[in-house]
Structure 1
């Protein structure tokens, strides 16, 4: 008699799909998501359905993560060139006939209005990781030059829109891949030193360089204003400096333990601009204080650390580079957002992962998490 083949139960099928998921990474995201829902309930209490929408966006990001996690890294690499090419073509389309809002041309209407720069947050590191994988073991200076060209084209197009925040995120993700691929320190240190010297000169010459009749030429006027406002928010306390000043007041008034849930006066009296999006960390700091801020920083640090562990244990160069760039995306999101709200970085449109309201950013985060989970699963399959 032939043997009877039993169909797997639903539990067994789900267990197989979840096998290989990185538990510590998932737990870090869960803790951040809980904090995000908590502060969104408070900060967005008079913003209609913002709390419910934030929860829906998290569920969507989780579904995207689950689907992408089932895709092996080899298939992800096969998508690198098509997705990158599509992203660059759409950026060119934005430059030619894109939709302009508030002085920035960042969107294109293809039946559905989309922001192509968001695609490049994932497509660029995907493309660069695939590029270095194909040249593993025989990297030359020419290969790094081509990689910089692959990086420079989309970053330049995004900066021209202008969109300083997104271009910064795309640049950080791309540079992380190039660095992890083996770029020598002698090529890294000169631009870093030059940048530090520029910052020192800018601080010293701030009264002269930030005069109203000075034109920086290489930067848009709003970008110049953001830098000058960072150096001296009091120069325009009710205008350009209002965001930074109110953010610092809210965080400072939170003290050590915070004013308590739903007790933030700066938040609920609407002194904090964009309190559910870019400046939600100010609302969080006011209600949960220094201890609450440390809680967020710890879990962001752990998330980035766990992503780097996944990168270090990845079975292929492509997986290592891609996971490393995903770690840099999370780090840049958190560092830039907290830095601008705290007054140590210029104000740019960068949300705080899992905390700020926004569907597009949440989709990008879900994709990044799915890629990390896919690489973690591939590592376990290789080991077993």
Structure 2
């Protein structure tokens, strides 16, 4: 008797769902989170407080929440998509009036026991609604103009609210993830070619207008572009963060300086060493081999998500899994590009590694939806 036949015949239905979980994916998530705990312990100078112990507790809560979500039938989450999206939009509106401020930005709602960042929740709510929309929409209507306009509005509403906080990094992630979801759903490539051509034309116009009577940006905005392209032009000002980040990355070499031996982080040269720039601490202490090992773990998470999506016979489930995988990929791709100077510093955390409650909990909720789709794929 095969394992599947035995579980169907003898194992209670509740326990059977646990057996059907994508356990390799779960173990990979735990492995990446443990790397995060280790690095938070290191940047605190060999102490669990103030970051590592809090992060461990948050992950434990989030992991249990992921398992609970996985046990709920996937059709339930499909029916909750519109409510989740609408509720998160209302929270984004509430941030505009009653949101807590930090670092010059108004992005959080203070719940007392934690500060919730609704823009993080929108990353999953948007994917959930777009997956439900394209599951409902007949495939032959996917590329018709009216049915393309509606998801564009769905994407632009939260993006505009997030931009007003201001949070450029999250806004870019929402736009990109939404566009990829539309592409995966089968929207004709001509729409994307038109958008990319428009973006290319706009960027060209911005550079050509500099110093003319029709200059499109302010002088200080052009200086920010100059700093991004050449951080050494202002090493103690706008280019300080990325300059120190590159020093930390380069000083790690192949094998790193050793655990808790990174000079850039230990001597506080590295900015935001426990959040946005934690990858540079990892690279300095464990070198290229440590950095590429984390990247391999991230890649395996993406592979297991894609495999699960391809084996799923339900359109909503497949799109949902691919959407969560896309969001996860954008998280670490943008963060790593940012700390290496390949992209502007926009404040995107390294998933499951950077310190932060909202980002970790929302990401684990997303993986809970992936697990739910995987567990109930045989329905």
Where on the TM-score scale, by shorter chain, does this alignment land: which range? Answer: 0.7 to 0.9
Give unmatched runs, 5+ long, in structure 2: 1-10
Decide whether aligned partners of structure 1 residues 334 and 200 sit closer, same or farther in structure 2, where only a CA change above 3 A counts.
farther
1:169: how far off? 2.3
User: CA RMSD, aligned part only?
Assistant: 2.7
- The 8 Å contact of residues 100 and 107 in structure 1, kept in 2 or not, is answered as yes
Decide whether aligned partners of structure 1 residues 243 and 46 sit closer, same or farther in structure 2, where only a CA change above 3 A counts.
farther
- The 8 Å contact of residues 115 and 358 in structure 2, kept in 1 or not, is answered as no
Residue 106 of structure 1 aligns to a residue whose secondary structure is: strand
Report the counterpart of residue 141 of structure 1 in structure 2: 145
Report the counterpart of residue 177 of structure 2 in structure 1: 173
**Within 5 A, what are the aligned runs for 1:134-283?**
134-139=136-141, 140-196=144-200, 208=210, 216=217, 226-283=224-281
Residue 273 of structure 1 aligns to a residue whose secondary structure is: coil
Decide whether aligned partners of structure 1 residues 225 and 302 sit closer, same or farther in structure 2, where only a CA change above 3 A counts.
farther
The alignment covers a number of residue pairs equal to: 363
- The 8 Å contact of residues 226 and 347 in structure 1, kept in 2 or not, is answered as no
- The 8 Å contact of residues 132 and 316 in structure 2, kept in 1 or not, is answered as yes
Report the counterpart of residue 132 of structure 2 in structure 1: 130
**Within 5 A, what are the aligned runs for 1:1-384?**
15-45=15-45, 48-108=49-109, 114-139=116-141, 140-196=144-200, 208=210, 216=217, 226-379=224-377, 381-382=378-379
Deviates more, 1:284-293 or 1:175-184: 175-184
Residue 107 of structure 1 aligns to a residue whose secondary structure is: strand
- The 8 Å contact of residues 354 and 362 in structure 1, kept in 2 or not, is answered as yes
* TM-score computed with the length of structure 1 as normaliser: 0.86
Separation in structure 2 between the aligned mates of residue 335 and residue 171 of structure 1, nearest angstrom:
15
- The 8 Å contact of residues 336 and 350 in structure 1, kept in 2 or not, is answered as yes
Residue 139 of structure 2 aligns to a residue whose secondary structure is: coil
- The 8 Å contact of residues 73 and 374 in structure 1, kept in 2 or not, is answered as yes
1:313: how far off? 1.9
Decide whether aligned partners of structure 1 residues 274 and 305 sit closer, same or farther in structure 2, where only a CA change above 3 A counts.
same
Give unmatched runs, 5+ long, in structure 1: 1-10
Separation in structure 1 between the aligned mates of residue 160 and residue 91 of structure 2, nearest angstrom:
14
Decide whether aligned partners of structure 1 residues 109 and 353 sit closer, same or farther in structure 2, where only a CA change above 3 A counts.
closer
Residues 210-236 of structure 1, C-alpha deviation per residue, up to 9 Å, x if partnerless? x9xx7726x9x7x76654421121222
* TM-score computed with the length of structure 2 as normaliser: 0.88
